[in-house]
């Protein structure tokens, strides 16, 4: 996957563009997927990145951090379907397209995601996410162990993902054989992307578009050893 010379602008709420969405125009974007627009089970239109150069990825903005989080409704049971890239799981883009935290921008990285302790301050409590995880597992038909399957932010909090928008959360099967916890290969990609952002080697929007579209491809681009 190549993501170079990205140009970012805030999309207008006119026409068919969802309010608050961020339209990313990528001068060179090669990602697996189709160029169609699909409707998620939560009613949000999501334009997927086409597999041609000069494509676009639409990232919707979630509500952002809340003083008090509440359990969010999940897609209906059996309506979401995992994709697979080798042995690595990818979410259903119709159910989990990703959503960004509107309070995180390229201009305030030092005071947000690049500041130690930021994500712990905005993470929803397990009393909320535990209920969501059970319902989301039913939506995806997940039958594995909840001890090893992570209720994962597709665009992680350290990459400016929304904390509790259901479009940004999915039960991620663990790709590691013999796993006893939720640590998985995607975690390493998130950490590498976070480091690249905070050291100026990757823009915020490039990282968000890459992780939302295909976290495996982003990992390869960042030099992560994903066989």
Q: Is residue 3 part of a domain?
A: no
Distance CA 207, CA 220 (A): 13
With respect to residue 37, please indicate whether it lies within any of the assigned structural domains. Answer: no
Q: How many domains does the chain have?
A: 1
pLDDT digits (tens, 9 = 90+) for 11-37: 333 333 343 443 433 323 333 333 333
pLDDT exceeds cutoff 60 at 216: yes
Q: What is the pLDDT of residue 204?
A: 98
User: What's the confidence (pLDDT) of residue 56?
Assistant: 60
What is the model's pLDDT at position 15?
Answer: 36
Q: What is the DSSP string of 98-157?
A: -EE-TT--GGGGGGTTTSTTHHHHHPPPHHHHHHHHHHHHHHHT--S-TTTSEEEESS-G
pLDDT tens column, 150-167: 999 999 999 999 999 999
Predicted pLDDT at 12: 30
Range(s) of the domain holding residue 159: 62-221
Question: Helix crossing, 204-213 with 185-198: angle to 10°?
Answer: 160
Q: What is the average pLDDT score of the chain?
A: 81
């Amino acid at each position: 996957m190549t993501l170079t010379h990205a140009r970012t602008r805030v999309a207008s709420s006119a026409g068919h563009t969802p309010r608050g969405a961020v339209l990313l125009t990528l001068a060179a974007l090669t990602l697996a997927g189709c160029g169609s627009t699909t409707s998620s089970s939560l009613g949000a239109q999501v334009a997927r990145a086409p597999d041609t150069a000069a494509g676009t990825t639409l990232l919707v903005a979630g509500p952002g951090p809340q003083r008090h989080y509440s359990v969010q409704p999940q897609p209906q049971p059996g309506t979401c379907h995992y994709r697979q890239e080798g042995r690595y799981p990818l979410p259903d883009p119709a159910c989990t397209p990703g959503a960004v935290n509107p309070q995180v921008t390229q201009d305030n990285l030092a005071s947000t995601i690049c500041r130690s302790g930021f994500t712990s301050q905005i993470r929803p409590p397990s009393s909320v996410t535990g209920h969501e995880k059970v319902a989301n597992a039913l939506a995806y038909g997940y039958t594995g162990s909840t001890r090893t399957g992570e209720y994962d932010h597709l665009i992680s909090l350290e990459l400016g993902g929304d904390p509790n928008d259901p479009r940004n959360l999915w039960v991620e099967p663990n790709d590691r054989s013999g796993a006893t916890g939720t640590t998985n290969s995607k975690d390493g990609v998130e950490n590498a992307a976070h480091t690249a952002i905070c050291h100026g080697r990757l823009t915020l929007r490039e990282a968000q578009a890459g992780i939302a579209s295909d976290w495996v491809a982003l990992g390869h681009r960042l030099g992560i050893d994903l066989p």
